[in-house]
């Protein structure tokens, strides 16, 4: 076999090898791009990770815990009382808070004698320790009845003595709600779906 033919065979083999390597890397790039696109779609429209910051929801949600927020349910259903939600803070929408929905649009709410009354009925809050008392604040004053406007919600932290919430700064507009806490994934010993009670 002439050296010219050997060189031609080597070139053909090298070309096939390069095509296979190129095809392999192209497959990897396509897989990575698809995975990233899938992640972005999930992140933007379905679920978003959040970290609990502070102790306003203690002992039910502790500082440093990680949650997945369900961003799709509220596209089809209205938020419900006792849902734990993540929302853009009305005072500064660059910050997101985690609180529990207590009052719904169109309801009256009053804080009195350490308890919350919705439409004149005492709210049973089984997610709180029995010794916890709820006090009013600058917005939701003790003993005063407040009518919650349409499209607005009253949200309060479970750690009533250490929570800056609707009692201080008012209602949360529906548009500010990012979603509801759906899954706690860190720490691992608390892994599981978030209970609404």
Residue 100 burial (CB count, 10 A): 26
Q: Which one is catalytic: 4, 19, 20, 99? A: 99
CA atoms within 13 Å, Cβ hemisphere of 19: 6
E strands in the chain: 47-51, 66-70, 84-89, 92-103, 108-112, 115-118, 121-122, 146-147, 152-156, 172-173, 177-186, 192-193
The whole-angstrom separation of Cα 134 and Cα 160 is 6
Residue 99 falls in the annotated catalytic set: yes
Q: Which one is catalytic: 56, 110, 166, 180? A: 56
Residue 71 falls in the annotated catalytic set: no
Q: List residues with catalytic annotation.
A: 56, 99
């Amino acid at each position: 076999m002439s050296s010219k033919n050997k060189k031609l065979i080597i070139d053909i083999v090298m070309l096939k090898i390069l095509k296979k390597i190129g095809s392999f890397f192209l497959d990897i790039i396509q897989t990575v791009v698809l995975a990233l696109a899938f992640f972005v779609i999930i992140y933007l429209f379905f679920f978003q990770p959040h970290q609990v910051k502070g102790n306003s929801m203690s002992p039910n949600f502790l500082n440093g815990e990680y949650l997945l927020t369900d961003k799709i349910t509220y596209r089809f259903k209205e938020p419900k009382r006792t849902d734990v939600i993540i929302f853009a803070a009305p005072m500064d929408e660059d910050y997101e808070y985690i609180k529990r929905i207590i009052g719904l649009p169109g309801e009256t709410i009053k804080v009195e004698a350490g308890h919350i009354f919705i439409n004149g009925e005492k709210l049973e809050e089984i997610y709180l320790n029995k010794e916890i008392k709820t006090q009013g604040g600058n917005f939701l004053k003790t003993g005063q009845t407040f009518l919650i406007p349409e499209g607005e919600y009253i949200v309060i932290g479970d750690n009533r003595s250490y929570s800056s919430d609707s009692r201080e700064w008012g209602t949360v507009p529906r548009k500010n709600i990012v979603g509801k806490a759906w899954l706690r994934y860190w720490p691992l010993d608390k892994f599981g779906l978030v209970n609404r009670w």
